[in-house]
Amino acid sequence: MEREPIANDELVYRRVPEVFYDPNSNRPLAWEAFRPNKNDTDGLSVWLSKYVSPSDVAQRNARFGKRYYVLEIAVTDLRELGIEVISTPEHGELGHASLATMTYAAYQADKNLISELAKRITLEFKHIIYGPYGPLDE
Amino acid sequence: MIATVDTQTLSIEPLEAITSTAATDDTLGVKARFLSNNHDAWQSVIDMKLNEWGIDPNQLEEEELIPPTRTAIRKAVKLAQAFQNDDWPPPMRVVPDGDGGVVFERWSGSISVSIEIDKNGESEFVECCDNKVTSRVRIS
């Protein structure tokens, strides 16, 4: 699959494990949902909304018994923060993209910068949140 | 041995300043919301979160999330006990950091403070204002 350009007016989905989302909190989404870990060598995974539904994203490689939320984010909002959004279908399937600024190496190089970006995504954006989805055994 | 926290170097003023929000903002569940004091709330963190994770850290494993290591959980329990003994206000959120660690967090308005414990048990006190990190101090 070839990489494709992503326009500013597109939307992406990010899956959020239930442990990072508390609907009863005045800050329901934990910024740690956007903290890169050692698996995020090319950035955090997101999915282009024109190819997949929130339900598709929630169910992809879902763990047995787990519940997930799915966050919808505007690409233009991410780019205004300086976060690069690129198509990376080679990491998954059609519609897979990466927040290429949010890599593990970048976090190790500048914890403050990357955690600030994660906090701004979770606290300053007007998100649409879908879910919860699951668990699969229901 | 319980971890020692040098409160002289931690700039704990913001944490104390947001103590009054604990009753309404606590997100550790209904039981924790109605606990009468800091000691009980910290005990709830230890019993309901950290010990549960310690029994089976892999329960948290996800494609997006590396569960806390046992080292991180042990350090989190030690710190929680130390804060409990010092009557610190309890965290409003306790979550895995996504890379093998644990985070305790409190906030009020534009200020947030957190204790970040990494997968190796190293811990830092982090203070933010308007989502900008204003202080990051290693806890010994």
Strand order in the sheet with B123-129: B93-96, B102-108, B111-117, B123-129, B132-139
CB–CB of B107 and A112 under 8 A?
A: no
pLDDT score at A137: 54
pLDDT score at B124: 97
**Percentage of residues in chain B having pLDDT higher than 70:** 74
Angstrom distance (rounded) from CA B46 to CA B80: 7
**In a structure prediction context, what are the per-residue pLDDT tens digits for chain A, which is 138 residues long?**
778 899 999 999 999 999 999 999 999 999 999 999 999 999 999 999 999 999 999 998 888 888 999 999 999 999 999 999 999 988 767 899 999 999 999 999 999 999 999 999 999 988 899 999 988 654
Contact of A137 with chain B, judged by CB distance below 8 Å, is answered with: no
Beta-carbon-side half-sphere exposure of residue B44 (alpha carbons within 13 Å): 22
| Cα end-to-end span (Å), chain B | 13
Q: Which of A105-109, B18-22, B24-28, B67-71 has the lowest mean pLDDT?
A: B18-22
CB–CB of B131 and A112 under 8 A?
A: no
Angstrom distance (rounded) from CA B22 to CA A81: 32
**pLDDT band at residue B49 under the 50/70/90 scheme:** very high
Angstrom distance (rounded) from CA B115 to CA B29: 20
CB–CB of A17 and B64 under 8 A?
A: yes
pLDDT tens digits for B81-138? 999 999 999 999 999 999 999 999 999 999 999 999 999 999 999 999 999 999 999 9
Dihedral sign (CA B110, B111, B115, B118): positive
* Mutation target among A13, A27, A32, A38 for the B interface, most CBs of B within 10 A: A32
pTM for the model stands at: 0.85
CB–CB of B133 and A112 under 8 A?
A: yes
* Mutation target among B61, B62, B64 for the A interface, most CBs of A within 10 A: B64
Statement: residue B4 has pLDDT above 80: no
Searching chain A, which residue's CA lies closest to the CA of residue B127?
A112
Report the candidate in A3, A36, A51 with the shortest Cα–Cα distance to residue A115.
A36
Task: Check residues A6 and B23 and name the one with the higher pLDDT.
Answer: A6
B89 within 8 A of B14, measured Cβ to Cβ: no
Cβ-based contacts of B133 with chain A (< 8 Å): 111-112, 115-116
How far is the alpha carbon of B85 from chain A, nearest alpha carbon, in Å? 26
pLDDT score at B103: 98
**Percentage of residues in chain B having pLDDT higher than 90:** 65
Using alpha carbons only, give the angle A79, B109, B98 rounded to the nearest 5 degrees: 55
Q: Is the peptide bond before A23 cis (omega within 30 degrees of 0)?
A: no
Cβ-based contacts of B64 with chain A (< 8 Å): 15-17, 33, 37, 45
Searching chain A, which residue's CA lies closest to the CA of residue B97?
A32
Report the candidate in A122, A110, A111, A98 with the shortest Cα–Cα distance to residue A40.
A98
CB–CB of A33 and B64 under 8 A?
A: yes
- The complex's ipTM? 0.91
| Cα end-to-end span (Å), chain A | 34
Q: Which of B17-31, B45-59, B125-139 has the lowest mean pLDDT?
A: B17-31
